[in-house]
Structure 1
Amino acid sequence: MTRYVRFARNGQGVWGLLEGSTVRTLSAAPYLAHEPTGETVSLESVTLLAPAEPPKIFAVGLNYRSHLGNRPAPTVPEIFYKPITALQNPEAPIVIPPNASDVHYEGELVLVIGRTGRRIPEPEAPSYIFGVTCGNDVSEREWQRGAAKDLQWWRAKGCDTFGPCGPCLVRGAAYGNLKLSTRLNGETVQEQTTADLLFDAAAIVSFISQNVTLQPGDLIFTGTPGSTRRMKPGDVVEVEIQDIGVLRNPVEAG
């Protein structure tokens, strides 16, 4: 497996190849044409950013049977968008808006697209997936399905900071069967493997591409398992995925 990180420097994001605790910087994102710059920095000396510069962010709803409750299983992937401004960095806060009342975590595997594709046959879809990372599809349940439900999930899933990703982008992971765990203040609140996805990575990529062109850097949140809980300011939520790492974010009032 190969690991890449993105870190902050002078207000910009810099990509690097992670080897142990050493980051070898790259001229561009690893899913684009790039070359080593010859520079190295220590991992502990940098502030990590979300390992993505996505043109688009997709997400999948109701993609684990354990998350369905009394709802029927979908017959096709239930796709929605998250805005680019929802993206948040590792260790940076998830900010609860003043008018939000029921904000939940959703630990998820996130796919990172590596090349442009349209109408991709499902057997070919894995070749369009550059790698994977951890994600948290933060969701406001009252706006999603409560008394104040909106017609669309534009704010229920799309508020600023409602899409943390990281800590690294991993290429070569066996993402079809990885253990996924979410912890709230140290307590394990979600635990399942990605083998239990109702629609696997290839099916999701193929389905989206039938109508929307996928581009390098696009992110796809693949769905969350089990039940979720409300978060409050002062909480810390961690999403850990086998072979990828731990995405940690504190929760703050906005």
Structure 2
Amino acid sequence: MRQNPRQRAIVDLVRDEDVTRVIDLADRLGVSDETIRRNVKALVEGGLLTRSHGAVELTGAAVEAPFGRRMRVNAPAKRALARAVADLVEDGQTVMIDTGSTTTYVAQALAARRRLTVVTNSLEIARHLLDRNESRVYLAGGELRADLAAAVGSEAEGFIRRFRADVAILSIGGVDARAGFTDFDLEEARIARAMIESCERTIVAADSSKFGRRAPVSVCEILEVEAVVTETSPAAELIARLGDQGVRVLAP
């Protein structure tokens, strides 16, 4: 079915954040119970949701993919740091965002910003920001990988390099005092590298599980990042190393 922006937001909340009670959906979206019930009814009739005893759930037509399951891992922490990242972005800026569950939460938080120009390789990030507050979304093409819900490869990398942006917002596999910022996937690291080199500044969004972890593929040196936004401060050694290289650590 064709969904309006509120209906898309309802499906997002049910799928990505496990908000299932109709009353909670109304509260999260800041609308009346009547408005939510009307939109839920349309989604039920369209085959995307089923409803029972004041709650809703996804139907087989909207089953959760592997990427969606990763969205649930450490979700409260990711949601908190995403809001802090969004506070570092101003209306009207050009932003590059790579694929990842954490950066998808950032995209949700950025939906409140106006007139953004967003460049991404992530299907999920593009979906969250499409048709929101006069923002424009450019989605890189290339090989689509289901595990990433994103495009990778030379075509995607080349597309990204055609833009010049204010800020890159990146997810990572790990950050280590010696190894710097690393990832587990070579294709993801190449996309991140292209974004770093196309932007004035770089912000890394990383929950605390990434601290002290050294993934096999290098993304960038510590000094190439302006700020790391997380939900809790890392260990003293890493804090010192980041500070020595001029990197701010922001924990909401």
TM-score norm. by structure 2 comes to 0.22
Structure number with greater CO (CA < 8 Å, separation at least 6) is 1
TM-score norm. by structure 1 comes to 0.22
Q: Name which one, 1 or 2, has greater alpha-carbon Rg.
A: 2
More strand by share: 1
